[in-house]
Structure 1
Amino acid sequence: MIATTTTTALHVEGVVKTFGRTRAVDGVSLTEAQGVIGLLGPNGAGKTTLLRMLATVLAPDAGDLRVLGLDPARADERVEIRRRLGYLPQNPGLYPGFTPFDLVDYVAILKEHTDPTWRRDETRRVLEAVGLEDVMHRKIRTLSGGMKQRVALAAAMLGSPELLVLDEPATGLDPEQRLQLRSLLSASRTVVMSTHNISEVAALCQRVYVVFHGAVHFSGSPADLAGLAAERVWEDDQQDPRAIRSWLTATGTFRHLGDPPAGAAVVDPTLDDGYLLLARRQPGR
């Protein structure tokens, strides 16, 4: 096994990935040691491509990439990275004729776990952790979409990996399962996850990177992202046409984003407000 003394889970410097004429990832840099890190951005922003590079599925065209202190461009170090990370892709390919138990046990074999007793116990542990103990011996083809997502999540969590790379992990989960997912991820050492759900970032992440057009346009804490809209959010009984965005809240008042008029009832910004303001600064918005 290759030894490493670094505590940096992810080091990405100027990474680029191009498909034809499309630059999906355009000079992304980030360095993180541990915690839950969120990638936030619209469809097509490059989040999935970046995660695939972190999971060693794709190689960058340019830039420097280190995962768990190792270089995925080197074959031996790439194998070692894969032993030590768990990956949930956006569209996990599950064998429909397998049971959840069979599938997770198979992933354990691929990760070179040769002790059948350990594999059996660990497979049961992760399936129970995601709430699939009652269906672990049913065929995957008979399961709901949310159950299939949890099978893939259990496979990613196998062996308590040092790094979890998760692409939209809450897809298909009901509210109770989303809360359970938060509990599972908060106990993990290092997680990098993409999401469209701003509430998941607020609840889970210590750091957030906002990605537009393949590039990082913000990095910081969720509170820092909300702070971008400080003094720029107000509420009123009437909709204000001067606002750049406005919407009716559950309490029946209108929430506005922009430059508040004199005397406006300015309120504390949320993560949604900061993200919307940042999105408005992008070309074409």
Structure 2
Amino acid sequence: MIETTALTKAFGRTRAVDEVTLSTGRGVIGLLGPNGAGKTTLLRMAATVLAPDAGELRLLGLDPSRAGERVEIRRRLGYLPQSPGLYPGFTPYDMVDYVAVLKEHTDRAWRRQEARRVLEAVELTDVMHKKIRSLSGGMRQRVALACAMVGDPDLLVLDEPANGLDPDQRLRLRSLLSTSSTVLMSTHNISEVSALCQRVYVMFDGRIRFTGTPADLAGLAVGRVWEDDRQDPDAIRSWLTSTGTYRHLGHPPSGAQVVDPTLDDGYLLLARKEHT
């Protein structure tokens, strides 16, 4: 669904995306990494918003550098940017209908039915005729998500889709994404990756440093996590858990109570290696 070969994008002297090569299939794919890692730039290229400086990109088997194929990709793609540009004077219904028009859906009856479908999916039918300026931040995020879902796209590219959502809406988002064909999403919330994603890419300094399943990422920390009643000053990371014991990441001392690692543990250990 998404294939890149040595994909590169620079801003001045900074390579935001540095020769990234990847190939994704169907399902939900998570993109993890710290701020400034290049995730948003990579997603913008995957959404055909930004053209690469070098390398190759194929989306849905098509080449976005060719005008005709780029138009076809955009008909079959839904995009949620990190900061959605919603028109405050529009209603959610107006906004969704406008996106449908941009996707060249000319049948008004179909657009009306589709707007209701996607707004119902994000639970906004009760406010669909209110001005967007009057809605909460979480509601606006759901309007943007509804816009991305117009036409049931083959590929969803989502940049921090859970921003501003309350716990109930986050669970609703999981249900929505689990029924989609292919989703590429960036997130800072590792629990979302653990709950949703079949594969995960970890990005540091513009490059992909890990590719695998969430279980593979957690497995990087096997034998490196232990718990104790006291905090160990030699641990890479340590924190007090809800049970009152300290959880440590690093090199366990002799006789330590080693425990199973989580996705957070694997990511923290990988991040440590990248910056030492």
TM-score (normalised: structure 1): 0.96
Q: What corresponds to 2:228 in structure 1?
A: 236
Equivalences for 1:69-148 in 2 at 5 Å? 69-148=61-140
Q: What corresponds to 2:190 in structure 1?
A: 198
Cα distance in 2 for partners of 1:143, 1:28 equals 38
SS at match of 1:95: coil
SS at match of 2:274: coil
CA shift for structure 1 position 270: 0.1
Cα distance in 1 for partners of 2:187, 2:92 equals 25
Q: What corresponds to 1:43 in structure 2?
A: 35
Q: What corresponds to 1:267 in structure 2?
A: 259
- Residue among 12, 16, 22 paired with 1:24: 16
CA shift for structure 1 position 244: 1.0
SS at match of 1:82: helix
Cα distance in 1 for partners of 2:19, 2:61 equals 20
Cα distance in 1 for partners of 2:151, 2:140 equals 19
CA deviations over 1:233-279 (Å, ceiling 9, x no partner): 00000011121111111111000001111110000000000000000
- Residue among 164, 170, 188 paired with 1:172: 164
Equivalences for 1:148-187 in 2 at 5 Å? 148-187=140-179
**Pairwise CA RMSD of aligned residues?**
0.6
SS at match of 2:127: coil
Cα distance in 1 for partners of 2:239, 2:263 equals 15
What amino acid sits opposite 2:202 in the alignment? Answer: V
TM-score (normalised: structure 2): 0.99
Q: What corresponds to 1:188 in structure 2?
A: 180
- Name the count of aligned residue pairs: 276
Cα distance in 1 for partners of 2:232, 2:35 equals 29
Gaps of 5+ in 1: 1-8
What amino acid sits opposite 2:35 in the alignment? Answer: N
% same residue: 77
CA deviations over 1:25-78 (Å, ceiling 9, x no partner): 011111012000000011110000000000000111111100000000001000
Cα distance in 2 for partners of 1:185, 1:89 equals 16
